[in-house]
Amino acid sequence: MIAQVWQYVLGGVVDGAIFALVAAGFVLIYQVTGIINFAQGEFVMVGGMTAASLAAAGMPPLGAAAVAVVVAACVGALAYLLAIRPARGATGVTLIFITLGLDVALRGLALFVWGTNPYSLPPFSAGNAVKLFGGVLPPQAMWVLGTDLLVFAALYLFFQKTYVGTAVRAAVANPPIASTFGIPLRTFAFASFVVAAAIGGIGGVVITPIPGVQYDAGLTYGLAGFVAAVLGGLESLPGALLGGFVLGIVEHVAGGLLSPGWEQGVGFLILVLVLVLRPQGLLGRAARRA
């Protein structure tokens, strides 16, 4: 029983790592632009589908992975330029509908390009399953967790240690005053979409060798990433990381012990509980900005 639960936990950690990446995308865009981008999960799908279809066409996996991340970033750039930028000044509700529309449009585009067939991608490295305290992880899981570590470390270093990263934090803290010092708010808004999309694409690329991917895979990732971001307080990257893993583990354990159909139900339940009991997230303080 315990061994079984442990195995569910390990599975949850792998999924949770991807949820954390998607959640990081939600947080980045929300912090910089105030927009909740409900199309976030589609970047995972675009990354996974591009990598898988290129690999199927004979490209080596790592090359396909690199191209896929660039494609995802470009989709993010276009999404901003074509859908978000023209609507600047719109109200929050309008922007929510725009990102929901974007989500549907990207899924439709994927259906058009790739059809309904599931795609798969070979693991990045051969080797045996990794044993951990009696549980097992596929070798690809190491790529997933290593990528998570790298992405979050890079984000941390960028925001805390670089001049431009500091300027982004200044822009988040006080946009109009930041702009009077020459800090380019619109460029940062654009960059937040590109980077969030690239991070989603990276997640899609590294996770695809495990469950495979199809045109509508973005829905699940987007929803989970949103719940994870809300769990983390929507304004915190460490919160997104924690929220991703918590959600992944809870979903897998609940799905394993009850039935797989419960996974998403549990996700929704967590979302509702957090919004009601702790809207500032697991790490957030009760009061937000001063």
Partner 1 sequence: MTLRQAQGDTRDDAPMLEVEGVSTMRGRVQVLWDVSLTVRLGETVAIVGPNGAGKTTLVGSITGLLPPSAGRIRIQGADVTGSAPERLAARRVALVPERRGIFAPLTVRENLLMGAYARKAPRAELDADVAGVLELFPALQRYIGGIAGSLSGGEQQMVAIGRALMAKPDLMLLDEPSLGLAPKIRSEIFGALSRLAQRGVTILLVEQNLRLAAKICQRAYLMQRGRIVGTATPEELAESARKVYLESHG
> Is residue 183 near partner 1 by the rule CB under 8 A?
yes
Considering the complex, state which of residue 129 and residue 164 has its C-beta at the smaller distance from partner 1: 164
- Give the shortest CB-172-to-partner 1 separation in angstroms: 8
Distance in angstroms (rounded) separating the CA atoms of residues 203 and 272? 26
Minimum Å distance from CB 31 to partner 1? Answer: 11
Among 4, 94, 125, 174, binds partner 1 (CB under 8 A): 174
Shortest separation between residue 162's beta carbon and partner 1, angstroms: 11
Which of these ranges, 44-52, 95-103, 178-186, 219-227, lies near partner 1 under the rule CB under 8 A?
178-186
Please tell me whether residue 280 binds partner 1 under the rule CB under 8 A.
no
Q: Cα(14)–Cα(4) distance, rounded to whole angstroms?
A: 16
- Cβ of residue 28: shortest distance to partner 1, in angstroms? 16
Residue 160's CB is within 10 A of a number of other CB atoms, namely 10
Within a 13 Å sphere around the CA of 226, how many CA atoms are in the beta-carbon half? 21
- ∠ at Cα 281 (221, 248), nearest 5°? 35
Q: Where does this chain touch partner 1 (CB under 8 A) — which range of 125-133, 174-182, 214-222, 274-282?
A: 174-182
CA gap 121, 207 in Å, rounded: 9
Piece in contact with partner 1 (CB under 8 A), picked from 112-120, 140-148, 173-181, 202-210 = 173-181
For residue 194, the minimal CB distance to partner 1 (Å) is 20
The amino acid sitting at 280 is Q
Which DSSP state fits 213? B
Quote the CA–CA distance of 108 and 98 in Å, as a whole number.
15
Q: Which of 120, 179, 264, 280 binds partner 1 (CB under 8 A)?
A: 179
DSSP β-bridge partners for residue 213: 119
Least CB distance to partner 1 at residue 77 (A): 21
169 in contact with partner 1 (CB under 8 A): yes
In whole angstroms, the minimum distance from the beta carbon of 169 to partner 1 comes to 6
Report DSSP letters for 127-170, one per residue.
Answer: -PPEEETTEEE-HHHHHHHHHHHHHHHHHHHHHHHSHHHHHHHH
Q: Does 133 bind partner 1 (CB under 8 A)?
A: no
Binding segment for partner 1 (CB under 8 A), chosen from 81-89, 175-183, 198-206, 272-280, is 175-183
Q: How far is CA 56 from the centre of its chain?
A: 24
Start-to-end Cα distance in the chain: 48
Site residues (CB under 8 A) for partner 1, limited to 73-112 = none
Number of neighbouring beta carbons within 10 Å of residue 261: 8
Question: Between residue 139 and residue 168, which ones bind partner 1 under the rule CB under 8 A?
Answer: 163, 166-167
Select from 109, 90, 64, 96 the least CA-distant residue to 208: 64
| Chain residues that interact with partner 1, rule: CB under 8 A | 163, 166-167, 169-170, 173-174, 176-184, 289-290
